[in-house]
A and B are shown apart, each in its own frame.
Chain A
Amino acid sequence: MFQSIDLNQGIRLHIRSTDQFKTINFAFKFKQELSNQSASERAVLSNVLLHSNEQFPSNPAFRSHLDELYGTIMYLDSSKKGSSHYVTLLAESVNDQYLSSNGVLDQVMDLLQTVLFRPNVEQGSFKESIVNREKDSVIQRIESLYDDKTRYAQQRLVELMRPNHPASIGANGTIEDVKAITSESLFAAYNKMLNEDELDIYIVGDVNVEEMIAKIKQAFAFAARNVKKQDSHQDVEHPSVEKNEVNEFQDMKQGKLHIGYVTPVTFTHPDFPKMQITNGIFGGYPHAKLFLNVREKESMAYYVSSSFSSSYGLVFVFAGIDASKQEKAVRLIDEQLAAMQKGEISQNELEQTVAMLKNQLKEALDSARGQIEIFDQYKDLDEAFSIEAWYEKWSSVTKDDIQEMAKSIEKQLVYFLSGKEELSQ
């Protein structure tokens, strides 16, 4: 799919030449160990680098330039996966052939170079006024989680299950850690990112591969760095939790039921494909047991589904229900898992889920971003990624496998967020 080249130790370039898209996509993925401090610094850093730079020292000048480049999209994104934090610099520009003017691609590459290597610096550090403003923005972003009750409830569940653990550390860090940032500490984090992070560069579009490699080598001369060797598989350890049931209250109408389960299966575990199907049958699709029995049969919920967090070996169930129906909903959800543990799985459920997984994977590859994300995720496995290989893995899964997988899923915590106590009485 991608042609991969080692540019230097710890720096890899992946190019895919295709005429499927009218645009050319770039992604620079900087990877570092996840902690509250690193996430906080890198979230603010992403904003500061996107505010301005040496060539365009004000934000409107920078933005106007992007407009002139036919609305080229350029942004930095702060995210996490497993125990790593990622800063991703993304750009998408229209392919020159659809435009009346030429040279847009070269200008976009120049700008990427500027954003990374020529920031807006004053006396050897970032400008304090910009740092302060962007610290506020990130703090507001973290605070806004509270207004979204579904996201908030999920965050609370994970915090209660895995305090001070990569699973519960947010991609934007914490308010406290953001407040502690200074221009100097942020500049140090920037240098660390440029010089020490593992870096994968992706390019997708109608490009000449040889020319592109030459341009990237010339314009992005990253120094070699030591990169931790990827361990193949390590068994996940699941600590116990203090309580198995937590109810919290806020001023709201709907009850948000979030249940957390543990499983020994993770992304690198040989049983991963089996667990994907198990989750699909449990609550991953509109044909799943949760959707059919909790929503359609009992009409208790508009949304009820499960998801498999394969980095951490966790499974979650989410449902929006009437605040008075917590007990019944938990019982119904328990029943669905119990049924799977007893082997109540039909051939039809199995086939539908495999068909859906196949479709989902193939569809994801219809966007440039999808191609980048999937390749990036699967490249860490020991074998080369191919659609056919995954089809085969899913197709060989049996009902007995699903039953075994379901048995490995253990409920750990029921979290329920609902309206104020006095209101629900």
Chain B
Amino acid sequence: MKELHFKQLDEKLFHEKLDNGLEVYILPKKGFSKTFVTFTTKYGSIDRTFVPHGETAEVTVPDGIAHFLEHKMFEKEDGDVFQKFSVYGASANAFTSFTRTAYLFSATDNLYENTETLINFVQEPYFTKETVEKEKGIIGQEITMYDDQPDWRLYFGTIENMYKEHPVKIDIAGTIESIDQITAEHLYTCYETFYHPSNMLMFVVGAVNPEEMMNYIRENQQKKEFHEPTPIKRSFQEEPLEVAKSENKLYMDVQKPKVYLGLKAKETSLQGEKMLKHELAIQLSLELIFGRSSDFYVQAYESGWIDESYVFDFTLEKGFGFAIIGSDTSMPNELVEAVKKELKKVEEKWPFGQADLDRVRKKKIGYFLRALNSVEFIANQFTRYAFNDMNLFEAVPVLEQMSVADLQESFTSIQGEKQQTVFSILPKKDQATS
């Protein structure tokens, strides 16, 4: 077991890569009574075309299968796993993103019983025709629930506009039609391919004794047999730089229009510290251009182009990346024009200097330090960073070394009119007249 000390942050992180390939990280937090444990596989909704374990030919599986698999992991021959967690007073949950599936619990008592429940349920798949069919009703209602949420539709509509080939454009839960095709065999295929310990990471944070916990996890894993780790072959079609659609809209039962401007990223191949620096540089740039202290924000707010729902955000993973800027607005056209104008202005002449950088850097450092109070943030974000060979605890030192030129250079990744798209949700009551 290795010990990493982050002096400035006053945190000690313990790490070991087990013989079966599982990466285990443990971060004790003083004063906490709860422990938060995540067990995550590097497998998400975008991993739909791949070579199954032990085979040679590529397959494409139905959309929404990673999320379906996540649901089905909780049901075993002897019942529902939630029951076991409840006996030991733990709150358990799971989520599926574009690139990850995470299983987790938090508990203030019975830490080892709960950890054992977590590891064992994720490492003992049990799928039958009956249980798979039964789940389709439940996930069908989950999909329908999201269908009625305008902000969710806005987000996915914008991504769909940007991407032509990449499976990031597919809704994480799939569709009622696509999940209907899922079988128990599909689930086993995906499980065998992506749930090998060498493709997974376990993070324990909070009230924990690192030596004891590491021994406990190691012993649990030594008792189980796994095949030799083999590299996973995923495949993605080539994605053009320009957006798939520059504009699209959807009518829903909303009070007022909602609009997002999406900026598709050029640079999506970086990993490790380069990616960390690049991502932070774009986030700082967006803060300068569109943040609460920016000229743009003042004008947009005072003119009534945006309201409290206003957001801007940047997402980056290997193979895809995008920024989103938008708001609920009674003046969608004015807002879109203003954002585009602002982007053009920045492209023509970079308007920010050292003092600007210093200010947003301070804000970001404060954000990281605040976030380190949250064991949920630490475990989830550390895992996301680690799957991209980055280290969450390096973010502050990397921020400290950032220069104005770094911001300007990184920001070019989302500059260019061909990379821009607009998606709107419009009130149904306006449909007849427009």
CA distance A325 to B301 in the complex (A): 44
| Given contact pairs A286-B82, A367-B373, A368-B373, A301 touches B360 in the complex (Cβ within 8 A) | no
Given contact pairs A67-B360, A322-B144, a sample of 5 additional A-B residue pairs in the complex whose CB atoms are under 8 Å apart: A23-B373, A59-B301, A144-B255, A149-B148, A303-B141
User: B369 touching A137 by the CB < 8 A rule?
Assistant: no
- What are 13 sample pairs from A and B whose C-beta atoms fall under 8 A apart? A19-B31, A22-B369, A141-B308, A147-B255, A149-B148, A254-B148, A301-B138, A302-B138, A302-B142, A355-B109, A363-B33, A363-B106, A367-B374
Q: Which residues of B contact A (CB under 8 A)?
A: 8-10, 29-34, 80, 82-83, 86-92, 106-109, 134-139, 141-142, 144-145, 147-151, 206, 252-256, 291-295, 297-298, 301-302, 304, 307-309, 328, 359-360, 362-367, 369-370, 372-375, 428
**Residues of B close to A110: CB separation below 8 A:** none
User: B90 touching A359 by the CB < 8 A rule?
Assistant: yes
Report the minimal beta-carbon distance from B87 to chain A, rounded to whole angstroms. 6
User: B369 touching A287 by the CB < 8 A rule?
Assistant: no
Report the minimal beta-carbon distance from A17 to chain B, rounded to whole angstroms. 12
User: A70 touching B91 by the CB < 8 A rule?
Assistant: no
User: A133 touching B33 by the CB < 8 A rule?
Assistant: no
User: A366 touching B135 by the CB < 8 A rule?
Assistant: no
Interface stretch, picked from A187-195, A291-299, A400-408, is A291-299
The count of chain A contact residues (Cβ–Cβ below 8 Å) is: 71
**Residues of B close to A147: CB separation below 8 A:** 150-151, 253-255
Which residue of A64, A69, A133 contacts B302 across the interface (Cβ within 8 Å)? A133
| Residues in A146-161 with C-beta less than 8 Å from chain B | 146-149
| Residues in A55-105 with C-beta less than 8 Å from chain B | 58-60, 63-64, 66-73, 92-94, 98-99
User: A251 touching B10 by the CB < 8 A rule?
Assistant: no
Question: Looking across the interface, which residue of chain A has its beta carbon closest to that of B11?
Answer: A22
CA distance A98 to B400 in the complex (A): 14
User: A356 touching B86 by the CB < 8 A rule?
Assistant: yes
Which residue of A72, A302, A365 contacts B366 across the interface (Cβ within 8 Å)? A72
User: A359 touching B91 by the CB < 8 A rule?
Assistant: yes
CA distance A143 to B108 in the complex (A): 40
CA distance A291 to B34 in the complex (A): 25
Which residue of B256, B293, B372 contacts A22 across the interface (Cβ within 8 Å)? B372
Which residue of A18, A320, A359 contacts B31 across the interface (Cβ within 8 Å)? A18
**Residues of B close to A377: CB separation below 8 A:** none
Contact with B along A379-399 (1 / 0, CB 8 A): 000000000000000000000
User: A140 touching B328 by the CB < 8 A rule?
Assistant: yes
State whether the Cβ of A179 lies closer than 8 Å to any Cβ in chain B: no
Which residue of A60, A69, A93, A136 contacts B293 across the interface (Cβ within 8 Å)? A60
User: B370 touching A94 by the CB < 8 A rule?
Assistant: yes
**Residues of B close to A302: CB separation below 8 A:** 138-139, 141-142, 145
| Given contact pairs A92-B370, A358-B109, A146 touches B34 in the complex (Cβ within 8 A) | no
User: A60 touching B360 by the CB < 8 A rule?
Assistant: no
User: A67 touching B362 by the CB < 8 A rule?
Assistant: yes
User: B89 touching A73 by the CB < 8 A rule?
Assistant: no
**Residues of A close to B134: CB separation below 8 A:** 299
